Amino acid sequence: RSTALTALQEELEGIPCTTEPQQLSKLSIDWHTFSPVLSEKLAGKRADIVYFPTSEAEVIRIIQACVRHRIPLTPRGAGTGNYGQAVPLEGGVVLDITRMQSILWTKGGIMRVQPGVKLMAMEKEARKTGWEVRMAPSTFRTATVGGFVSGGFGGIGSITYGVLRERGNILGLQVVTMEAEPQILELRGEAVHQVSHAWGVNGIITEMEMPLGMAYPWAECIVVFDDFMQSARFCQRLGESDGIVKRMISLHAWPIPSYFVALKPYLPEGSHAALLLIAENSLEPLADLVKEWGGQITYTKPAAVCVGGTTSSTGKGITLMEYGYNHTTLHARTADPSLTYIDCLFPADPDLKAMEYLYRTLAEEMMIHIEYLRLNGKVTALGGQLVRYTSEARLREIMQIHRDQGVHVHDCHDFTLDSLQKKDASNRNQQLELKKRTDPLGLLNPGKLKAWMEWQAQQTGSPSM
Ligand code: FAD
């Protein structure tokens, strides 16, 4: 490998790179550290060199050199993924795309960008013409749009627009293939999903076309309840109230609110808290709904006082958006690093039986955290439960208890795409089929797609790992 790396470096003279050991370690990890299981499995995995291309032409040169010398290549955005998506399991090159951050054009509610643009930069640009990003992860300040589309699923805004996977939420992706003579493909329509959420295993995204949403002035509210199941029913009803315009409904069973130190004055001891982003013109009907369900609004931050004038996603300061989604895990782990999390989808059920069962049965070792989002047109509860970690075996038992209640669990303690996407096998097959054409040597983000390893084992007649 070292001779090949020397030759690669000589050929790529002029493209910014680093081999400084501390930088290599920093740019080889992501936030899989939320999982004690992944932390152990991925420890010590490190790139040999990190390149920072500034253009598609440089990406192509890097790909050609890697193919020539059979060196693995793992793309990386801001490295905020939770599953080790951007960890280079076999070393080689990490392709850091954060310097490809041009906004190419915006027109008619569509924005074409390079993949290294941060979600917050997109939001700022979109707001100049009355638009906003449709959805963003709670890491919107640092996460890149390329990393979001390749490694994320949805977030703030998904209660209205659904997740990235929904038809129409990604309009086009320009992708460079991992071949001696790289092709530039423009995928549109449903074909984008062969590459979206594929963790960069079948092509490098170099441009993307994203649809925008109409910009609203978003107010932020905290609503508290004495009874958890009542708070969950309120959130479900709020999600289904189509006349109330919202961007986030994030629900936290006590004691999760006790981890939100900066919000302490608004989170009474023992209360369950819903953190909301609501369009300002929907605050009055929201207050009526809260009253109907017996909740109490303890905090309202009008959009006008949010930094940036219209929404705090465009500037600094405390925003509830950085308490929902996996920021919940982040705040909780800051207080208690022994906590970890599980990702799951609750079944559509007006009686919320599974949620109630898990809330009551696992109260000693698990705290319920729900994000409400729209999936296939239905308001759905996405669980990001916090678990007091004792062992991998017990963690897996807890996941099984969820499954036994009809809850779909995404295994966020496994670093393969296959384990996370169990529910969507046909999409994974499409991703595999594309990889056979775009990365015939299997150099892109190796080790992340089990289906590829199984297929290769079939070809060579050797057992798959
Ligand atoms: P990275 O982590 O750097 O990369 C993600 C994947 O994309 C990797 O597999 C990488 O190889 C691949 N990739 C990157 N760029 C390219 C490219 N140009 N071409 C091909 N492949 C590429 N996720 C959500 O979906 N919603 C949330 O609300 C959310 N909240 C989070 C909160 C916290 C506190 C943390 C730590 C994580 C959260 N995440 C969430 C996960 C993550 O932050 C997001 O998915 C984020 O969008 C990833 O962007 P990134 O730039 O950091 O990508």
Q: What is the 3-state secondary structure (H, E, C) of 436-460?
A: HHHCCCCCECCCCCHHHHHHHHHHH
d(Cα 208, Cα 381) in Å, to the nearest integer?
29
- Listed residue (176, 203, 204, 197) closest to 417, CA to CA: 197
Q: Which residue range(s) make up the domain with 290? A: 218-410
Residue type, 25: S
Q: Which segments of the chain have a pLDDT < 70?
A: 304-316, 422-423, 463-465
308 C-alpha to ligand 1 centroid (Å)? 25
Residue 179's nearest CA partner among 429, 442, 433, 431 is 442
Q: Which of 363, 379, 410 is the last residue of a domain?
A: 410
- Indicate if 226 and 91 belong to the same structural domain: no
Model confidence over 75-122: pLDDT tens digits?
999 999 999 999 999 999 999 999 999 999 999 999 999 999 999 999
Looking at 52-185, list the stretches that DSSP marks H as alpha helix, in order from N- to C-terminal side.
56-69, 119-127, 145-151, 158-161
| CA 77 / ligand 1 centre spacing (Å) | 7
Return the residue whose CA atom lies nearest to atom 45 of ligand 1: 152
CA–centroid distance, residue 101 to ligand 1 (Å): 16
Ligand 1 center–CA 412 separation, angstroms: 14
Please tell me the distance between residue 142's alpha carbon and the centre of ligand 1 in angstroms.
Answer: 10
* Bridge partners, residue 393, by sequence: none
Q: What is the pLDDT of residue 423?
A: 62
Instruction: Say how far apart CA 111 and CA 172 lie, in whole Å.
Output: 10
Q: Tell me the percentage of the chain whose pLDDT exceeds 70.
A: 96
| CATH number of the domain where residue 386 is located | 3.40.462.40
Say what the pLDDT of residue 422 is: 63
8 A C-beta contact, residue 160 and residue 374 = yes
The residue whose C-alpha atom lies closest to atom 6 belonging to ligand 1 is 151
26, 54, 150, best to mutate for ligand 1 pocket (most atoms within 8 Å of CB): 150
Residue 134 domain-assigned (yes or no): no
Distance of CA 16 to CAs 25, 54, 80, 94, 125, Å?
A: 17, 9, 22, 12, 27
Q: Are the CB atoms for 429 and 397 separated by under 8 Å?
A: no
Is 170:192 a contact under the CB 8 Å cutoff? yes
Burial of 130 (0-12, 13-18, 19+ CB in 10 A): exposed
Q: Flag whether 16 is in a domain.
A: yes
Q: Which helix (H) or strand (E) holds 398?
A: helix 392-404
What CATH number corresponds to the domain at position 46? 3.30.43.10
**Residue of 30, 35, 76 best suited for mutating to test ligand 1, as the one with most atoms within 8 Å of CB:** 76
Number of residues written out for the chain: 465
How far apart are alpha carbons 102 and 123 in whole angstroms? 14
Atom 50, ligand 1: residue with shortest CA distance: 147
Estimate to the nearest angstrom the gap between the alpha carbon of 200 and the chain centroid. Answer: 14
Ligand 1: distance of its center to the CA of 202 in Å?
16
Closest CA to 202 of 1, 14, 435: 435
Query: What is the tens place of the pLDDT at every residue in 1-30?
Result: 889 999 999 999 999 999 999 999 999 999
Taking only the tens place, the pLDDT of each residue in 141-166 is: 999 999 999 999 999 999 999 999 99
- Tell me how far the alpha carbon of residue 2 lies from the centroid of ligand 1, in angstroms: 30
How many structural domains does the chain have? 2
**Pair 113, 210: CB distance under 8 Å:** yes
Cα-to-centroid distance, 78 and ligand 1 (Å)? 7
Token pair in block for residue 307? 């930094």
Q: Cα–Cα–Cα angle for 222, 265, 252, nearest 5°?
A: 45
Of 41, 66, 96, the domain-final residue: 96
Q: Which residues line ligand 1 (CB under 6 A)?
A: 30-31, 74-82, 85-86, 97, 115, 137-139, 143-144, 146-148, 150-155, 199-200, 204-205, 325-327, 330, 445
pLDDT of residue 307: 39
**Position 159 in a domain:** no
Q: What is the pLDDT of residue 338?
A: 96
Say yes or no: 271 and 404 in one domain. yes
Give the span between the Cα atoms of 135 and 160, in whole angstroms. 9
Q: How far apart are CA 443 and CA 137, in angstroms?
A: 28
- For ligand 1, mutation pick of 148, 156, 166, 175 (most atoms within 8 Å of CB): 148
Which residue of 326, 345, 370 sits with most ligand 1 atoms within 8 Å of its CB, as the best mutation to test the pocket? Answer: 326
Residue 379 resides in a domain: yes
Residue with CA at minimum distance from ligand 1 atom 27: 137
At which of 96, 127, 147 does a domain end?
A: 96
Q: What is the pLDDT of residue 306?
A: 43
Q: Which pair of tokens denotes residue 458? A: 């079939």
138 within 8 A of 384, measured Cβ to Cβ: no
DSSP 34: G
Interatomic CA distance for residues 10 and 364, integer angstroms: 58
Substitution candidate for ligand 1 out of 34, 50, 139 with most atoms within 8 A of CB: 139
Q: Which long-range contacts (CB under 8 A, 24 or more apart) does 286-290 make?
A: 286/221, 286/238, 286/244, 289/234, 289/237, 289/238, 289/241, 289/244, 290/223, 290/234
Residue 371 Cα: closest atom of ligand 1: 28
Residues 226 and 375 reside in one and the same domain: yes
Q: CA–CA separation, 330 vs 82, rounded Å? A: 11
Q: Whose CA is nearest to atom 29 of ligand 1?
A: 137
Prior bond of 255 cis (ω within 30°): yes
Ligand 1: centre distance to CA 139 (Å): 9
Distance from the Cα of residue 59 to its chain's centroid? 24
Nearest residue by C-alpha to atom 33 in ligand 1: 326
For the question of an ipTM over 0.85, the answer is: yes
Domain membership flag for residue 140:
no
Structure tokens at 319: 């925003």
